[in-house]
């Protein structure tokens, strides 16, 4: 009998030479958890949220529709980015939402006042120096399930859904 561990979906194939590195597989965050993430990050209408690895765009769409924020999603999968862009159009949010097809490591995130992550701990390790370099003091990083090692969260929130306790970490970028 084939036995697949609950963790198996986080195992990624090695990158091919010259290709951007896929930092996490596609797994969606539940919509009710997305709302809690955005609330925990204190998202407001004047904010600009960047979701790094936006998948089908659910976080950017919720940020724009539910909180009135501007939102940018960056997604390595062309098919997922197209789906997110189409959904933004269907919802009439095309002026508030921008979807970039590409590698999150290659996109300048300095315009963000809030960055959302649902990646993996090792991916957060890879991103950390970039976030420290590019984000303005006072901007927030909200990460679902996976800590940013070496940073102290300003807030930790727990959400229980279908007997799974989701953990949300919020970090405030300090003065340089």
Ligand X SMILES: C[S@@+](CC[C@H](N)C(=O)[O-])C[C@H]1O[C@@H](n2cnc3c(N)ncnc32)[C@H](O)[C@@H]1O
**What residues line the site for ligand X (CB under 6 A)?**
20-24, 26-29, 51, 53-55, 58-59, 74-77, 80, 103-105, 118-119
Nearer to ligand X, 71 or 135 (CB): 71
Nearer to ligand X, 108 or 137 (CB): 108
Beta carbon of residue 3, minimum distance to ligand X (angstroms, whole number): 23
Residues 52, 115: contact at Cβ < 8 Å? yes
Q: At what angle do helices 58-67 and 78-90 cross, to 10 degrees?
A: 20
Q: What is residue 33's three-state secondary structure?
A: helix
Nearer to ligand X, 137 or 165 (CB): 165
Beta carbon of residue 44, minimum distance to ligand X (angstroms, whole number): 20
Beta carbon of residue 82, minimum distance to ligand X (angstroms, whole number): 13
CA distance 24 to 123: 7
Residue 34's alpha-carbon distances to 31, 46, 59, 142, in angstroms, are: 5, 19, 6, 10
Nearer to ligand X, 3 or 4 (CB): 4
The residue written with tokens 């095309």 in the block is 94
Residue 93's alpha-carbon distances to 24, 73, 119, in angstroms, are: 27, 13, 25
Beta carbon of residue 32, minimum distance to ligand X (angstroms, whole number): 12
Beta carbon of residue 46, minimum distance to ligand X (angstroms, whole number): 22
* Nearest residue (beta carbon) to ligand X: 53
Nearer to ligand X, 30 or 42 (CB): 30
Residues 53, 118: contact at Cβ < 8 Å? yes
């Amino acid at each position: 009998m084939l036995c697949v561990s609950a963790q198996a979906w986080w195992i990624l194939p090695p990158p091919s030479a010259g290709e951007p590195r896929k930092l996490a597989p596609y797994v969606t965050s539940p919509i009710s958890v997305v709302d809690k993430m955005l609330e925990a990050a204190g998202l407001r209408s004047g904010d600009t949220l960047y979701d790094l690895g936006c998948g089908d765009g659910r976080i950017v769409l919720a940020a724009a529709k539910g909180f009135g924020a501007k939102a940018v999603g960056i997604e390595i999968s062309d098919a997922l980015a197209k789906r997110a862009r189409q959904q933004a159009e269907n919802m009439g949010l095309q002026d508030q939402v921008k979807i970039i097809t590409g590698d999150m490591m290659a996109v300048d995130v300095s315009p963000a006042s809030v960055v959302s992550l649902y990646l993996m701990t090792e991916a957060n390790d890879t991103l950390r120096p970039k976030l420290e370099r590019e984000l303005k003091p006072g901007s927030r990083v909200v990460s679902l399930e996976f800590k940013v090692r070496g940073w102290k969260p300003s807030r930790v929130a727990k959400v229980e859904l279908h007997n799974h306790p989701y953990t949300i970490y919020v970090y405030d970028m300090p003065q340089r």
